[in-house]
Amino acid sequence: MRERNLKSRYSANARPFESLYRKYDAWYDEEPGRSLFAIESRAVRESLLFTPEKALEIGVGSGRFAEVLSIRFGVDPAVNPLRLARHRGVSGVAGDGERLPFRAGTFDTCLLVVTLCFVENPLTVLQESFRVLRPGGQVVLGMVLEESPWGKVYRGLGVNGHPFYSLARFYSRDVIIQWLKETGFSSVGIVSTLFQPHGKSTYDPELPRLGYDPGAGFTVFRALKPET
C-alpha cells in the first residue's frame, strides 16, 4: 500500500521502468547490451574531472553504471529497479529528480545516464543537481543527442510505440549547454563515443574522443558548480 502511494506521487515516465525492470536490466547481460555498456561506461568514467567520493546517480535504475563507477547513492521514482541496485551495493531512495530528497551541498558528483530525456522538467532536474552539489562539485550527463544517428533511430522507435523511447525527448548539444549555463554550471566539457551504427549484434571496443562530435551515438557532458 505504502509503495503504491509512493509510485503514484512520482513521474508517469518512470512507469515502464517500474513494470519492465527485469527486462531492462537483463539487456546489459547479453549482446549487444554488454558491449554497448562497456563503451558508454568508459566514456562516463573518463569524463569525471575527479574521482567521486560522495556521488549520487539521479535516475539510477538498477544501478549498472553506479556499480562500475563506485557510486554508492541513487535516486529513482521506480522502486523495483532500486531493489536490484541495492544488490549491487547502491543505496537507492525512491524520489524524483525534480525534488531531490537531499540537503544542499551533500554530494561532490551528480550523474545522470540517459535520464534527462525521461524527466518532465529537465531544467528543474539540473537546478536540483546544482543545489545538492557542493561548490566545486561536478555534474555528469550521459546523453543520446537529438542530432546524433542513434537519437534519430530512437526517435523513430518511439514514434512506433517502443515502451521506453515513446516517452523520451531528445535534446541537442546546444540546448544542453544552454541549460547547464542557465543553471549556473561552468567549465562545460564534452566527450563523444559510440561511432558504430545502431543495429549491430555486438560492438567493438571504442576509445572516447574529447569534444563534441555529431556522429557520436553517446555524448557525455561534464560541468562544474563554481567554488564561489
Ligand X SMILES: C[S@@+](CC[C@H](N)C(=O)[O-])C[C@H]1O[C@@H](n2cnc3c(N)ncnc32)[C@H](O)[C@@H]1O
Closest CA to 210 of 12, 46, 35, 4: 46
Q: Which is nearer to ligand X, 119 or 224 (CB)?
A: 119
On the 0-12 / 13-18 / 19+ scale of CB atoms within 10 A, 36 is buried
Instruction: Please identify which residue in the block is written with the cell numbers 531512495.
Output: 93
Whether the CB-CB separation of 134 and 105 falls below 8 Å is answered with yes
Q: Which amino acid is at 50?
A: F
The distance of closest approach from Cβ of residue 37 to ligand X in the complex, given in angstroms and rounded to an integer, is 8
Q: Is 61 in the site for ligand X (CB under 6 A)?
A: yes
Q: Which of residues 63-122 bind ligand X (CB under 6 A)?
A: 64-65, 76-78, 81, 96-98, 113-115, 118-119
Question: What is the 3-state secondary structure of 142-208?
Answer: EECCCCCHHHHHHHHHHHCCCCCHHHCCCCCHHHHHHHHHHHCCEEEEEEEECCCCCCCCCCCCCCC
Q: Which of residues 153-212 bind ligand X (CB under 6 A)?
A: none
The distance of closest approach from Cβ of residue 121 to ligand X in the complex, given in angstroms and rounded to an integer, is 8
The distance of closest approach from Cβ of residue 17 to ligand X in the complex, given in angstroms and rounded to an integer, is 4
Specify the stretch interacting with ligand X by CB under 6 A; choose among 7-15, 132-140, 197-205, 214-222.
7-15
Specify the stretch interacting with ligand X by CB under 6 A; choose among 8-16, 46-54, 151-159, 194-202.
8-16
Q: Which is nearer to ligand X, 80 or 187 (CB)?
A: 80
Q: Is 58 in the site for ligand X (CB under 6 A)?
A: yes
Closest CA to 126 of 112, 136, 108: 112
Compute the distance between CA of residue 27 and CA of residue 225 in angstroms, rounded to an integer: 34
Q: Which is nearer to ligand X, 81 or 208 (CB)?
A: 81
Among 11, 35, 129, 193, binds ligand X (CB under 6 A): 11
Q: Which is nearer to ligand X, 39 or 114 (CB)?
A: 114
Q: Which residues bind ligand X (CB under 6 A)?
A: 11, 13-14, 17, 58-61, 64-65, 76-78, 81, 96-98, 113-115, 118-119
